[in-house]
Structure 1
Amino acid sequence: MPRPVSPAGHATRGTTNTNRLRRVDRWIAAQPELRHADSPLVVDLGYGASGVTAFELYDRLRRVHPDVEVLGLEIDADRVARASAQLAQIHAGGTRFPSDSRVSFARGGFEVPSLRPASVIRAFNVLRQYDEADVAEAWRMMCSRLTPGGIVVEGTCDEIGRVSSWIDLDNRANPRHLTISLRLAELERPSIVAERLPKALIHHNVPGERVHRLMTDLDTSWDRNVGLGTFGAVQRWLAVVADLRAAGWPVRTTKTRAKLGELTVAWASVAPDLAG
């Protein structure tokens, strides 16, 4: 009998809060890789000490794709047992989540053990606790478990989900974009996201690096458009996005997405200068 394969990676701190991942969830819900997939499998990798992020992910995605399934993966067996018990309560009814939620939990890591490839793998606040040198292999392993048109969404957010950033990768582990998503109300400076950049970028926010220039340009435009704050933070942010586009940044954000506090740029414009 073959020996079971140990999950790839190590357990995270397990920090979990209700609605913490709402920003990335609504971005995933809008992606064609989810919407156009047949019976998509979406993996919540490293969901933490509670299964709540997987339940919320399913609840949000089912509204745009009723056939979606969510698989939560954790290295810690106790966390899998706890989330499975929570799922049993949901199936019994009486919670705010649908009693027929198509959610399951299993033990696993970056190798993503599942019976079929995933359309989307979300790995949030996982690689933050690793060394930057570990990122490429983790990306490779996760992306190898995608459908041909699938994506990995890997990123970081603060404890209550008001500041988020993520990278989306194709099934060949090629990064495509960096997206930042901010709660605009009471936002002091957009560069607050520098504290929550994905592991592949966070140590490169230094002068001379592309991502540092993005942080600088964001703050400069935010300050320049302070007068628009009279009309609301959204109008001020829309002006910032327009400024970046006019300055030559490869902005991929629609006006609708920008109103949510998002900015998406092509990966090449922020990729680390590894030769430096």
Structure 2
Amino acid sequence: MARAQGPEGRHTRGTTGTNRLRRVDRWIAHLPEFRRAPDPLVVDLGYGANGVTTLELAARLRGVRDDVELLGLEIDPERVARAQAQLESTRRGETVFAADARVSFARGGFEIPLAGDRRPAVIRAFNVLRQYDEQDVRGAWDRMTARLAPGGVLVEGTCDEIGRVCSWIDVAASGEPLRFTVSLRLAGLERPSVVAERLPKALIHRNVPGERIHDLLSALDREWDRAAALAPFGPTQRWMAAVAALRASGVPVLGGRARWRLGELTVPWDAVRPS
């Protein structure tokens, strides 16, 4: 079948904010799919109004692998031109980012245009599928994961405007979802289920009784309430106690205290898979 002309996908709102994606950046930096990749190429798909989040991701990943390379892709040619101007300013030493950062920007969408046979180890697609219908998600995942290197991963999710409430799904190169993660700023957190408003498109309409994601968020809220006695010791201690209790109750919580301390909760996809 001939490839469609031009980038595949729809224009996003273009909302961009400095440090907005810090939580998912931190997640990608620890992923074995990135750390062990023979070619640590990372694609930032749909970076928004300007290239700051791509440059931030490059800086954070460089702390793990100094050979990391970032490609930012956008459908809108004006956004690409704006990001390239930012990159030129960075090359001149006029920004906080390293002048020699291995970053580039281009026009592209779900087809992930790359020269030759090169394939990325990681694709980040954040706040990209929010305006799509739920029935379109699987096709978008399949299109992106088909471009991944063997053993690569797609990290697809969403967050609020300032990056305090985030959630995402890790999808394997096979197209099969692997894990679901919630990441919250714990200071000032009232209830963990606030993330319901920022679930990935594959789950946001499934937060109803009878669905696994609803069960998970309800159980997390209950454990958060039960851990209220720890509130004087700080929200981090309260959160960690809630997550530990959730796992003790039989929920297959992944990771350990080092990840929980960051406000994260990760479960296998089967724990939230839509019915």
Category of TM-score, reference length = shorter chain? over 0.9
Distance of 1:156 and 1:118 partners within structure 2: 21
Corresponding residue for 2:140?
Answer: 138
Whether the 8 Å contact between 2:180 and 2:268 is mirrored in structure 1 is yes
Q: For the Cα contact (< 8 Å) 2:39–2:120, is it kept in 1? A: no
Answer yes or no: is the 8 Å Cα contact 1:14–1:49 preserved in 2.
yes
Residue 232 (structure 1) aligned to one of 231, 234, 245: 234
Question: Pick from 195, 211, 223: which aligns with 1:193?
Answer: 195
1:169-208 to 2 correspondences below 5 Å: 169-208=171-210
Query: How many pairs are equivalent?
Result: 272
Q: Structure 1, residues 206-261: CA drift from partner, whole Å, max 9, x if none?
A: 01100000110011111111011111111111111111111111111211000000
Within 1, Cα distance between the matches of 2:136 and 2:74?
18
- The answer (yes or no) to whether the contact 2:230–2:238 under 8 Å persists in 1 is yes
* 1:75-127: CA deviation from partner (whole Å, max 9, x where unpaired): 00111111011100000112100000110011110111112100000000000
Q: Does 1:69 align with 2:69?
A: yes
Q: Deviations over 1:30-73 (max 9, x none)?
A: 11111111231100000001100100000000000000000000
Cα separation, 1, equivalents of 2:214 and 2:4: 44
Cα distance in 2 between the residues matched to 1:98 and 1:192: 36
The list of structure 1 runs, each at least 4 consecutive aligned residues, that deviate by more than 2 angstroms after superposition, is 2-5
Give the superposition deviation at 1:3.
9.6
The 1:224/1:79 distance shift into structure 2, 3 A limit, reads same
**Contact persistence 1:41–1:70 (CA under 8 A):** yes
Structure 2: gaps (5+ residues): none
Scaled by the length of structure 2, the TM-score of the pair is 0.97
Distance (Å, rounded) in 1 between the aligned partners of 2:133 and 2:90: 37
Q: How does 1:1-276 map to 2 (within 5 A)?
A: 5-115=5-115, 116-273=118-275
SS of the residue 2:150 aligns to: strand
Shift of 1:5: 2.5
CA distance in 1, matches of 2:12, 2:26: 24
**Whole-angstrom distance in 1 between the partners of 2:93 and 2:4:** 34
Paired letter, 1:19: N
Q: Deviations over 1:167-224 (max 9, x none)?
A: 0010011000100000001100000000000000000000110000011001111111
- Shift in alpha-carbon separation, 1:208–1:40, aligned structure 2, 3 A: same
Shift in alpha-carbon separation, 1:4–1:210, aligned structure 2, 3 A: closer
Q: CA deviation at 1:4?
A: 8.1
1:253–1:262: 8 Å Cα contact kept in structure 2?
no
Q: Alpha carbons of 1:3 and 1:127: their partners in 2 closer, same or farther (altered >3 Å)? A: closer
Identical counterparts, % of pairs: 64
Contact 2:39 2:121 in 1 (8 A): no
Distance 2:161 2:187 in 1: 17
TM-score w.r.t. the length of structure 1 is 0.97
**Alignment partners' CA distance in 2, 1:153 and 1:163:** 16
Q: CA RMSD in A?
A: 1.2
Counterpart residue type for residue 258 of structure 1: W
Using the alignment, how far apart are the partners of 1:60 and 1:146 within structure 2?
21
- The alpha-carbon distance between structure 1 residues 246 and 78, as it changes in their structure 2 partners (threshold 3 A), is same
SS of the residue 2:106 aligns to: strand
Unaligned runs of 5+ in 1: none
Aligned equivalents of 1:3, 1:244: Cα separation in 2: 46
